[in-house]
Structure 1
Amino acid sequence: MYPYFRTKLLAGKLKKKMTEIQELWWAQEIENLYKLLERFSVFSTALSFLFRFFCFFWYFEYFSHSSSITFPIASIFSVGVVKYFSNKSVKCKALVLLLYSETLNFLFRYEAKFIQEDQKQLLETIAFLVVLLFQLALVRNKLYFNILLLKYMYIWFVSDLFIRNEQDVSFYYCQLMIIIICFINVLHSHSLKISFERFISRNELETSKNRLNTIKESFSDGIIIISQDLKIQFYNPRVLQILATTPDNLFNTVSSAHYIENRKVSNFIPTNELIVDISYLLNNSEQNEIVLGITQIGLSNLEWRAMQIEWENLKAVFLTVRNVNHLIELEKKVACDQMKTLLLRSVSHELRTPLNSILHFTEDLIKGAKEWRGEEAKKLKMIYISGQQMLSLISDLLDYSQILIGVFSVHKTYCNLREIVQNVCELFKFQIEKKNLFVTYRIDPSLPDMIYTDHLRFSQILLNLLSNAIKYTLEGKIEITCILTSKNSMKCYIEDTGIGIEESAMKNMFRFMKTSNVPNLGPKGNGIGLYISNLLSRQLGNKSIKVKSSIGKGSVFYFKVDIFENFSPSEILDKIESNDNENILPISIPSNYIKKEEPKDVLIVDDTEFNLEILSSILTSGDVKYDEASNGKEAVEKVLNKDNADQPYKLIVMDCEMPEMNGWEASRYINQLYRQGKIKYLPHIVGYSAYCSDEDIKLCYQSGMVEFLPKPCSPDKILNTLKKFYMYKVILISKFSLNYQGLL
């Protein structure tokens, strides 16, 4: 039943639409007839006066015996009536047309019977034609149409015969009436159909014309059509605005345009003139749209596109032109951002490399600080903490460079919440003690030990917020609180008893390059830490960092972190309890296990002596035997030699940026050697680099590496990673194309 009702509904809508169109058509027909009536009334009145004027001078005797002067007066009156109703409704105009036609019919018949009897047939024919032209055109209903027609047939034929006392109406007259009625009916129907079709076509044509004019007027690009004889056949108003020219000077403006250096896209002819390319298109077959290039006219950079078309059966070129100043500016901005990114990436790498040595050897000295005096051990800790804070700042700079190019992201794993908070607090131990501050942290017992988040990003937020709290707290306490919420997430609060923040300053607090200048404390940074932290908060918990503050009493910063991997808290706890600690690596590696392995199963590759020394120190502490290489090429040679000697490396710790052959190339080459059967064993390759952006890490996995370690990296993490892969035998699997992109 539904299709039936739907069809009925559509039919009803279509019928209603057709009725509306017919009403418009009928209204237009009435308007046309009324305009005809206006012209006819004026013309007939003027003709009447002219006729009587001539009769007065030349046929005065005839004039004295003709109809009275009231006829021209009536004509003037009729003109006034017609003019008066010209602004009235359609129905009023239809009524005027009906009355006017009846009046004319009456006057003509009166003239025929009582005044001009010798012209009776002519006048009655004219009267009938007036009715046909005016009255019958007013009706659309066939019944009304036939009633009117029969009426005038009766008046014309039958009544006239009766008046002449010819009682016996011959069959000839009846037959003639029927033929005339049928003929007029057919003619009228055909006329209505043609008129309606013309109305529809006229409306469609007018609609299309209006649409084209609207497009032409509102099209944002300039349009020019140039014929084969290099004459402009068409243009829109917009092109005159874009080119800042006049219609007369339009072609000269186009022909004088030259491409900006290195901005020509088309390669038809080695020239920088736009008109030469246009001429080439006119004389050759190029059906697709072609970007020609960018020209400069005044201060405007204009992009030209062209396509060959047919215009009035002749070959022509359809040109479009648009102002691309904003695109040029955007290109400059993108290029500037790319330069910033490259600079920050390079600076980050260059800073991380020496910082790796500073942190590692300082940590080694701290471990042996029992032999040092208290003051010396304290200074070593200061160096180590400062290095860690510098590492955090480098991470902020690297994050900012990723934000500039739109590749900023987080990588979530399971991590220990309490351990993260403790480590962050430990980094500020020296500053806390120096300022006599009391720092505590509280963790909701309902929170699981292991949470699912990006531990590096989470640590970064805590570190930046805690650093900010320590800066602006002169005395009192700082408290870190982590609370489980009801929505599978937790809220972290950093509350201090510092100087507080003015309400006006809170609006711009998380904007980059917003230097905070506090009385008696001086300028305190450029805001990059809070800016990055706010972005990280949105990534980890889909909400920005919130602030509550009171001048002289302190501030509270809090943010939300999602801590579950699309599971409920109970499911996560069950998952963690059932996990056999496969992802939780011990801090140290039993030395008796490594001693049992064959010697020199590990290859460390780095072009910096300091980094080789650091890795040597770490591996030596775990009793791991290793070989060294200073670049990727040397590493490949050692892998080949060891494999041929049937003593393959199980693990390679590979730097990425090196001379001769970098780590990514070396990793790809080693994997290729294995796929080609040139080596029997494929060692695990771990990336170890100061280039730590998402793109760099992705490149590591794509090149065939199985893990990535950033510089600097703690010895425990390096040794844990070593055990993670070192405990397995070397890979001996069927040869296939490795793709590690899915690990990202």
Structure 2
Amino acid sequence: MSNKKIDQNRLCDRYKTEKIAFTKVFLGSYLNFLLACSCILIAVNSYAYGLMSQKFIESIIVLTILILVKIFILHNSLGYILGLILLWCIDLKNIEAAYWIFPEYSGLHIAAGVHVFCHVHLELIYNPIHGYATIAINMVLWVSGAIFSGLISSSPPIDMIFAFIAFVCSKIFWYKYKLIKDYEEIERKLMLEDYQSNICKIINAVPEGIVVINEDCKVIMKNFTYEKLLQGLDIEELNLIEKYSNDQKDFEENLCKNIRLFINTDRDSTKFGVLIVNDDYLDCTGTKVKWGSENAVVLTFREITNIVKLENQVTQASKTLKILRGVSHELKTPMNMAINQNLELLHNNKDISGDLKKSFNKNISILRYILSLIRDMIDYSYLKSNNLGLSFAWVKIPDLIEESIFILQDIYLNSSFELNLPSQIFNVYTDKNRLRQGLLSLISTSLGLSKNPQVKITVTNESDGIRLIISFNSYKNFLMNSHDTIDFIHKTLKLKISKKLMHKICTNEVCINKSQNDTINFTLLFDLIEFHESKEQYFMEIPEEGDILLPLTTCSGIRDMSNFVDILIVDDIEINIEILRKMLENLESHCNCCRKHRKYSIHTANSGRAALDMILYQQRLKSAYRIVIMDCLMPGMDGWETSLEINKMFSKGDIKYLPYIIAYSAFDSKEDLEKCIVSGMCCHISKPCLIEELCQAVNDWITRF
């Protein structure tokens, strides 16, 4: 217990209260005994002397007096004092009997008087001064009676005086020890009551409903929250709707039956499950305790209605996201095919007319813009569920701006662009695909407010970062003033998605304001990160995979990588395989990067199992696939499972070379990227991808060797 001391006045008051209560109980019992003796005496006197005899009448008077005394003692505030007076009378009567009535039995009376005095009289006194005075007065009365009765002389021997003093001292020391023990007991009781009171206050303050029940499910103690949650329902009426147990076969609905089963187990605590009370969901847990001398269980009821609603919302959002992902995957595949077919026609037919070339470029721009909108919708769902996965790399802002303008100028006719760039090349560390989406959304928002839009894009280098400003005055040709236009822009879903994306990839908000000449500006600040252009840097699309080791030298007997590189494409859709094959075959002629492209020997597999067989077959030929481009979502063994199996084969020594596995999938949420890392994939590119992105992923492997 705590060392905190109880207030002395409170201690004395409690001691007084308990002594008064004990006195009434003791004297009440003693008077009951005397009443019983009086009744027996009345019966004896009536039999021996007759009903109207003096003895019989005296017995009746004594009985009446005892009844009145008992009533007065038990039901009057002065009963305590009257009780002490009664004890003094008994003590004096004992002295009289010892010295004058039955002097031959004086020793017996003295022993009885001392016993009654020590173990009864002093038990009823609450004031220590009164106690010590009582000891002194009692001793004086007994000694005076002995002298007056002639039992002892007025000049007793020294041995008797010494024995008398020793007897008085022993009484005083006994009484002092008794007081200390009594006060310690009272203090312990008060401290225990304080602890219980504080515990009750704490229990009533907690937001959970708490109730203590015994083995028979009877309530011992409960707090206010429990009463509020249960609203008068008996605990026997509560039934579970869901149990926290893997074994649902033995599901028992009734809560009390589950509690009784729990009491008979060797567990100290458990989670019973979820129950519904007045349309509220409650989570119920229990803990075994010892409550006094009996076994008990502390039940805790926690309201989880909001959590259940949130889980339902998340479940519904997950279902919606799953549908969106599936639909987007089905849309992206034919659009990716159309983009690549248009690119093939542009690059392979040098003699096509200028108008036809413009038509092809316009088709490609429209398809890419639609792909960006599809990605916006999927990313918006990722953002709402906090499941957006990002792939950071060094990005040149001017290149992305020019690419966005190239896409949008074929869609928005009669649009004009002014691009102001400083002489220095700007690079930011961000997610390239998401930044492209954001720029397309911001620029297209400004273009969509006029028939003849004019957009000015400015990039400046400042002390706190790189500032991008997209300015337009399209509202002059729109049926709103500048303030209404800004309000309208804020309400558009496309801008909401763009703002969330931009904040995610560069941690700064997109600001919308009106400047001079009624020009509306989109402003975004990129934090400045040091970048050395002289030392070109390439970063993996996702973080390192951890303990997976890539060999830094070729194995003996394996084809020299300086000639050409064996690449395995794994996808269950033939169109995707053909698109990737053509993109890899045409890297040298179609890619705009400055890298020296290698020669690639391309192999294909339409399932994860077929890919494993081909990798083992290459090993038997003492060759190996250096790169595997793996679709993640495939029937049977998916891409993640296939990647795990490839890494296991390398760990067991079944293959001598661990290929560089590139995840190629339309699914790029945070969970998807984490699954890629765990399964041993080395990087991720989104489906569909640009030829430059595919080139970077492939060459990222080459830079490692």
Q: TM-score range by the shorter chain?
A: 0.5 to 0.7
Contact 1:282 1:315 in 2 (8 A): no
How far apart are 1:232 and its partner, in Å?
Answer: 1.1
Contact 1:484 1:490 in 2 (8 A): yes
State which of 209, 215, 221 in structure 1 corresponds to 2:209. 221
How far apart are 1:288 and its partner, in Å?
Answer: 2.7
**1:380 is matched with which residue?**
360
Contact 2:633 2:665 in 1 (8 A): yes
- Provide closer, same or farther for how the CA distance between residues 438 and 717 of structure 1 changes in structure 2, counting only shifts above 3 A: closer
Q: Is residue 471 of structure 2 the alignment partner of residue 495 of structure 1? A: yes
Q: Is residue 378 of structure 2 the alignment partner of residue 398 of structure 1? A: yes
Contact 1:345 1:401 in 2 (8 A): no
**2:584 is matched with which residue?**
619
**1:206 is matched with which residue?**
193
Q: Deviation per CA, 1:514-543, whole angstroms, max 9, x where unpaired?
A: xx5xxxxxxxx5x1x322332233334433
- Provide closer, same or farther for how the CA distance between residues 205 and 610 of structure 1 changes in structure 2, counting only shifts above 3 A: same
State which of 522, 534, 552 in structure 1 corresponds to 2:499. 534
For these two proteins, the number of residue pairs brought into alignment is 588
- The aligned amino acid for 2:495 is L
What does 1:341-380 correspond to in 2, within 5 Å? 341-367=321-347, 371-380=351-360
Instruction: Give distance in 1, aligned partners of 2:496 and 2:636.
Output: 39
- Provide closer, same or farther for how the CA distance between residues 276 and 442 of structure 1 changes in structure 2, counting only shifts above 3 A: same
Q: Is residue 676 of structure 2 the alignment partner of residue 688 of structure 1? A: no
SS at match of 2:201: helix
Q: Is residue 260 of structure 2 the alignment partner of residue 274 of structure 1? A: no
Contact 1:453 1:562 in 2 (8 A): no
Q: Is residue 587 of structure 2 the alignment partner of residue 632 of structure 1? A: no
**2:268 is matched with which residue?**
288
**2:698 is matched with which residue?**
722
TM-score, normalised via structure 2 length: 0.67
What does 1:485-634 correspond to in 2, within 5 Å? 485-487=462-464, 489-499=465-475, 516=491, 527=493, 529-549=494-514, 553-564=518-529, 572=530, 575-577=532-534, 579=535, 581=536, 583=538, 601-621=566-586, 622=588, 624-634=600-610
**1:410 is matched with which residue?**
390
Q: Deviation per CA, 1:102-160, whole angstroms, max 9, x where unpaired?
A: xxxxxxxxxxxxxxxxxxxxxxxxxxx9xxx899859xxxxxx99xx99xxxxxxxxxx
- Provide closer, same or farther for how the CA distance between residues 470 and 286 of structure 1 changes in structure 2, counting only shifts above 3 A: same
- Provide closer, same or farther for how the CA distance between residues 494 and 640 of structure 1 changes in structure 2, counting only shifts above 3 A: same
**2:627 is matched with which residue?**
651
- The aligned amino acid for 2:434 is R
- Provide closer, same or farther for how the CA distance between residues 503 and 551 of structure 1 changes in structure 2, counting only shifts above 3 A: farther
**1:114 is matched with which residue?**
none
SS at match of 1:426: helix
What does 1:405-444 correspond to in 2, within 5 Å? 405-431=385-411, 434-443=413-422
- The aligned amino acid for 1:583 is Y
Instruction: Give distance in 2, aligned partners of 1:615 and 1:530.
Output: 33
Instruction: Give distance in 2, aligned partners of 1:508 and 1:301.
Output: 41
Contact 1:286 1:307 in 2 (8 A): no
SS at match of 1:482: strand
- Provide closer, same or farther for how the CA distance between residues 716 and 485 of structure 1 changes in structure 2, counting only shifts above 3 A: closer
Contact 2:417 2:457 in 1 (8 A): no
How far apart are 1:314 and its partner, in Å?
Answer: 4.3
Aligned-residue CA RMSD (Å): 5.5
How far apart are 1:364 and its partner, in Å?
Answer: 2.8
**1:243 is matched with which residue?**
230
What does 1:100-119 correspond to in 2, within 5 Å? none
**2:33 is matched with which residue?**
none
Instruction: Give distance in 2, aligned partners of 1:407 and 1:383.
Output: 32
Q: Deviation per CA, 1:556-577, whole angstroms, max 9, x where unpaired?
A: 221222231xxxxxxx35x443
Q: Deviation per CA, 1:632-659, whole angstroms, max 9, x where unpaired?
A: 2222222222322234333332322233
- Provide closer, same or farther for how the CA distance between residues 630 and 187 of structure 1 changes in structure 2, counting only shifts above 3 A: closer
Q: Deviation per CA, 1:363-385, whole angstroms, max 9, x where unpaired?
A: 23344676333433332222111
SS at match of 1:646: coil
- The aligned amino acid for 2:428 is I
How far apart are 1:336 and its partner, in Å?
Answer: 0.9
SS at match of 1:481: strand
Contact 1:268 1:277 in 2 (8 A): no
Q: Is residue 617 of structure 2 the alignment partner of residue 641 of structure 1? A: yes
SS at match of 1:428: helix
- The aligned amino acid for 1:707 is C
How far apart are 1:453 and its partner, in Å?
Answer: 2.6
- Provide closer, same or farther for how the CA distance between residues 680 and 479 of structure 1 changes in structure 2, counting only shifts above 3 A: same
Instruction: Give distance in 1, aligned partners of 2:266 and 2:560.
Output: 74
**Residue segments in structure 2 that go unaligned for 5+ positions in a row:** 22-76, 78-120, 137-154, 541-558, 589-598
State which of 209, 215, 220 in structure 2 corresponds to 1:234. 220
How far apart are 1:343 and its partner, in Å?
Answer: 1.8
Instruction: Give distance in 2, aligned partners of 1:508 and 1:207.
Output: 64
Give the percent of matched residue pairs that are identical in Structure 1 and Structure 2. Answer: 22
How far apart are 1:435 and its partner, in Å?
Answer: 3.3
**1:462 is matched with which residue?**
439
- The aligned amino acid for 2:341 is F
Instruction: Give distance in 2, aligned partners of 1:472 and 1:419.
Output: 25
SS at match of 1:371: coil
- Provide closer, same or farther for how the CA distance between residues 635 and 314 of structure 1 changes in structure 2, counting only shifts above 3 A: same
Instruction: Give distance in 1, aligned partners of 2:15 and 2:220.
Output: 35
**1:57 is matched with which residue?**
none
State which of 298, 305, 315 in structure 2 corresponds to 1:325. 305
- Provide closer, same or farther for how the CA distance between residues 207 and 600 of structure 1 changes in structure 2, counting only shifts above 3 A: closer
Contact 2:243 2:251 in 1 (8 A): no
SS at match of 1:352: helix
Q: Deviation per CA, 1:462-488, whole angstroms, max 9, x where unpaired?
A: 22211211122455632222333333x
What does 1:253-264 correspond to in 2, within 5 Å? 253-254=237-238, 257=239, 259-260=240-241, 263=243
How far apart are 1:671 and its partner, in Å?
Answer: 2.9
**2:460 is matched with which residue?**
483
- The aligned amino acid for 2:211 is I
Instruction: Give distance in 2, aligned partners of 1:358 and 1:289.
Output: 62
- The aligned amino acid for 1:291 is K
**Residue segments in structure 1 that go unaligned for 5+ positions in a row:** 1-13, 36-81, 83-128, 139-144, 151-168, 511-515, 517-524, 565-571, 586-593, 730-744
How far apart are 1:240 and its partner, in Å?
Answer: 4.2
Contact 1:546 1:558 in 2 (8 A): yes
SS at match of 1:601: strand
Instruction: Give distance in 2, aligned partners of 1:349 and 1:664.
Output: 18
SS at match of 1:494: strand
Instruction: Give distance in 2, aligned partners of 1:712 and 1:288.
Output: 56
How far apart are 1:34 and its partner, in Å?
Answer: 13
SS at match of 1:291: strand
Contact 1:473 1:496 in 2 (8 A): no
- Provide closer, same or farther for how the CA distance between residues 677 and 322 of structure 1 changes in structure 2, counting only shifts above 3 A: closer
Contact 1:308 1:317 in 2 (8 A): yes
- Provide closer, same or farther for how the CA distance between residues 183 and 390 of structure 1 changes in structure 2, counting only shifts above 3 A: same
Contact 2:538 2:700 in 1 (8 A): no
How far apart are 1:192 and its partner, in Å?
Answer: 6.6
Contact 1:281 1:317 in 2 (8 A): no
- The aligned amino acid for 2:308 is I
**1:5 is matched with which residue?**
none
Q: Which moved more, 1:540-549 or 1:352-361?
A: 540-549
Q: Deviation per CA, 1:11-38, whole angstroms, max 9, x where unpaired?
A: xxx9xx86x9446657888999999xxx
SS at match of 1:625: strand
- The aligned amino acid for 1:326 is N
